[in-house]
Amino acid sequence: MKTTVDFPLQTRSDMANVLERLVSPLRPFYSRGGARLPLGGSGVSYPATVAGLEGFSRVLWGMVPLLAGGGSSELWEIVLDGIRSGTNPEHEEYWGEVSDYDQRLVEMAVFGYALALIPEQIWEPLRPEERERLYRWLNQINRHPCYDCNWLFFHVLVNVGFRKTGLPYDAKQLERNLDRLDAFYLEDGWYSDGIGGHSDYYVPFAFHYYGLLYASMMEEEDPKRSRVFKERAAAFAGDFLAWFAPDGAALPYGRSLAYRFAQSAFWSALAYAGVEGVPAGVLKGLVLRNLRWWLNQPIRSSDGLLTVGYAYPNLVMAENYNSPGSPYWALKAFLPLALPEDHPFWTAEELPLPELPALSIQRPAHLVLARDPGSGHVAAFNTGHRGTNEHTHTSAKYEKFVYSTGFGFSVPRGEWGLAQGAFDSMLALSERGDNLYRVRRRNLDTSIRDNVLVALWKPWSDVEVRTWIVAGLPWHVRIHRIWTGRPLEAAEGGFALGMETELAEWTEAGRAGAGAASSYGASGVLNLLGYRTAELIRPNANTNVLHPRTVLPTLQTSLEPGVHLLAAAVYGDPSPGASWQPVTPESLGVVIGEREIVLTTCQGNETRIELE
């Protein structure tokens, strides 16, 4: 269901109204005992009964701050009944005995947060025996391990809730988990999601969000650690600003994008914890613009429920752990509802993004963020990572050469050919005659020097690719030196352009090049060296996170065993009315000579690539 903002989202009351519009359609879906919120028929990696608990718990991330700020919800009595049923072993809707690494450990965190923030709303209304059942059910988290990543915060929040309510808690394990979380810290405010893990949205909406909740709740009891959490969040804020476009859109990158406006939850937590450094009006603008952007996307079903997907309902890009209730983690963004009307967040005038540099080098995340002031386009150029994981579509979510607020990114629909693979912002390689393509999944080596990113990767044991990316907008350059022991077909994909019915297409006379323009902007690719043909690929529907239908400008060539050098210029401008603009390699900082290619960075440094 296409949702539009039909009232000004400016005040605390406006935000409360938005929350009400998001949660009120849930009422008829609660189970008879109130303990489960089953919202659809799609499957997930854990049982449907656990998915029902997930739906129940995730709604509380919005309702708890609403109640903490003096608001009310007609659903709260259902929530209390659900707690009574879900924690009662004799009830048919009992949430059950948990096991190691259980999804229910994830869903316990919000209960700990609620015990600390609104005990008069969630603890005091329960009878003594009901309180004991709630405590016993939650206390299972102290007997079962969580995954060695952001999950450790779930144990932390539950035990903080116990401590604040005067209940027995596991002080030693709490301290161990806080120390272990500290081991994931990198630099400049960045964490990795576990040792060697990725640095993605789990940094702002998990590590920093939970850390700032801890800092707010435990400032008196643990002032040193609370101060560190706030200092790290302040350091991270400068980099994270670069992930947002002026219209409120944020960068689609990494996994768990189905949590949508949890993207701006970090800014909500920054305001809630009173972290200095970003003016209140800027924080307000970041949160409200992001919410407005999302409310203007078709992200709800006909009955008003949040769907699994990104900018539209889409199970193709979803994670194995996305149940129909998972998207309600987005309600973390509503934390400012816990702040009173006279708080600076609400009294300040909403401000636009501050002036930001054209390039932001973020080495802990392996990214260089580029901004185009004219179009508002934000693109993250990516060296890639040395490690990988088994999450869904890992290569598409972490190893593309560039990610974009205007074009999103695509995930494969199948394994056969370029249309199913949807290889935007990638070099895809196939053994000749096979038509099954491989892309970058992990890297042997990576580096960043100014706006030039370098990576070494091996799609086969006898194929090695060294890639140079010259970051910039609206044009950027990609160069690959390929050592291959087998004959290959190579395809270099540009930005995937959303399309509806009308599409303007063009080709570059005299050399391989192609592009297209639609109401969503323009995208094109141009051969600089080594490619033979250019084509507009029509990827399978629902492969792109922003648009159900796309067209993908792609360069192609054949490679015999040996050493090859390929170079392409890639264009992307998501402005309505954008079109192909003439370009020369020299204007992009690239000089192709008879014996070498010379790359000149934005700081005037040179990189030389020998032609063989």
CA distance 235 to 247: 24
C-alpha dist (Å) from residue 57 to 63, 64, 99, 112, 171: 10, 11, 18, 11, 25
Closest by Cα among 489, 437, 434, 481 to 459: 437
Strand partners, 191: 185
- SS3 (DSSP) at 590: strand
pLDDT at 47: 87
265 burial (CB, 10 Å; 0-12 / 13-18 / 19+) is buried
Average per-residue pLDDT for the chain: 95
Burial 183-218 (b: 16+ CB within 10 A, else e): ebeeeebbbbbbeebbbbbbbbbbbbbbbbbbbbbb
pLDDT at 576 over 60: yes
Rounded to an integer, the average pLDDT of 497-506 is 82
Look up the pTM and report it: 0.96
* Cβ-based neighbour number of residue 121 at 10 Å: 18
The per-residue pLDDT for 506 is 80
Task: Indicate whether 394 pLDDT > 50.
Answer: yes
Spatial separation of the C-alpha atoms in residues 172 and 159, rounded to whole Å: 11
Q: What is the pLDDT of residue 579?
A: 85
Distances, alpha carbon 294 to alpha carbons 135, 261, 288, 325, in Å: 37, 7, 10, 18
Model confidence band, residue 612 (pLDDT cutoffs 50, 70, 90): low
Q: What is the pLDDT of residue 611?
A: 77
What burial class does residue 456 get, using C-beta atoms within 10 Å of its C-beta: 0-12 exposed, 13-18 middle, 19+ buried?
middle
Predicted confidence (pLDDT) per residue in 136-151, tens digit:
999 999 999 999 999 9
Residues with Cβ within 8 Å of 43's Cβ and at least 6 positions away in sequence, in order, are: none
| Residue 65 scores a pLDDT above 90 | yes
**For the purposes of burial, counting CB atoms within 10 Å of the CB of 291, is it exposed (0-12), middle (13-18) or buried (19 or more)?**
buried
Half-sphere exposure of 573 (CA within 13 A, CB side): 18
pLDDT band for 4, please (50, 70, 90 cuts): low
d(CA 402, CA 140): 43
**Cβ contact 573:377 at 8 Å:** yes
Per-residue model confidence (pLDDT) at position 220: 96
For residue 541, the SS3 value is coil
Please check the confidence at residue 2 and state whether its pLDDT lies above 50. Answer: no
In percent, the amount of the chain with pLDDT more than 70 equals 98
Picking from 369, 342, 374, the residue whose alpha carbon sits closest to that of residue 358 is 369
Alpha helices (runs of H) in 300-447, residue ranges in sequence order: 344-347, 394-398, 417-421
Question: In angstroms, what CA-CA distances link 583 with 313, 474, 491?
Answer: 38, 11, 21
The whole-number pLDDT of residue 593 equals: 87
- pLDDT tens, position by position, 208-243: 999 999 999 999 999 999 999 999 999 999 999 999
Task: For residues 611 and 594, give the distance between their C-alpha atoms in angstroms, rounded to a whole number.
Answer: 8
CA 233/CA 189 separation, integer angstroms: 6
The yes-or-no verdict on residue 46 having pLDDT over 60 is yes
Mean pLDDT of 361-382: 96
CB 515 within 8 A of CB 525: yes
